[in-house]
Amino acid sequence: MHSPAWRPAQLHTERLASIQHHFIDERPADSNTGKPGVTHTLPVHMAVAAGHPSNALQPHYLVDALTRQLNIQTSAITEHPDWHLETIPLEHEATNANQGFILVFATANLEGVRLAYSGIKMLSATPSRRFGVLFSGARDAEFARLCQERLASGARRFLGIRLHELGQLSAPGPNFSADLARLAEAVHRLWGTHSIHNQLEVDHT
């Protein structure tokens, strides 16, 4: 039998147990309650080579960091969007037929360029889609530019597609925050432009 001295601690423990579900199960209150919420889904095709450098930006880190940055940078606009990045398995590409803009993340080497091209070729079966390409893992800025040019040239020549070149994003370092902010701004602009364009096409058919 417990000593009476233990009773206050026991009561405190029981109280925490009875209310902990409020902290675990309930979503925090939205500080922007005056703004209607809407979810924006950004599909991402991962053209990551087997030799993707360990010191390059990793796919899961990109998804998490870009999701947070998009939500931060668009939190002040009227519709108060909740961004969600969705990785696209190519075998399920038909389920993403309504997405107008797709982000392609590729390893900056020949295999990454090949994987990116193959993915874009399959996903471009829906004519209204547009693609933005981001590389990581290049040994220097010049090599990243060559990878961009090679992919853009092939897509333009053989697929009739003009890619949006988003440059290279390196692993987190001194300039990562600024580079991520610029990427989020470009992605938001492209997503908005092509989503509006596609909606206008649907409305006029």
The 10s digit of each residue's pLDDT in 107-131 is 999 999 999 999 999 999 887 889 9
Rounded Cα–Cα distance for residues 192 and 23 (Å): 35
When computed from its CA atoms, the radius of gyration of the chain, rounded to whole angstroms, is: 22
**pLDDT tens-place string over residues 150-205:** 999 999 999 999 999 999 999 999 999 999 999 999 999 999 888 754 444 434 34
Rounded mean pLDDT, 124-141: 91
Residue, of 186 and 27, whose pLDDT is higher: 186
Rounded Cα–Cα distance for residues 107 and 138 (Å): 8
Report the run of H or E that residue 102 belongs to, with start and end.
Answer: strand 101-107
- CATH H-level, domain 37-203: superfamily: P-loop containing nucleotide triphosphate hydrolases (3.40.50.300)
Domain ranges of the chain: 37-203
Contact between 106 and 116 under an 8 Å Cβ cutoff? The reply is: yes
- What's the whole-number average pLDDT of the chain? 79
**pLDDT tens-place string over residues 41-76:** 899 999 999 999 998 999 999 999 999 999 998 876
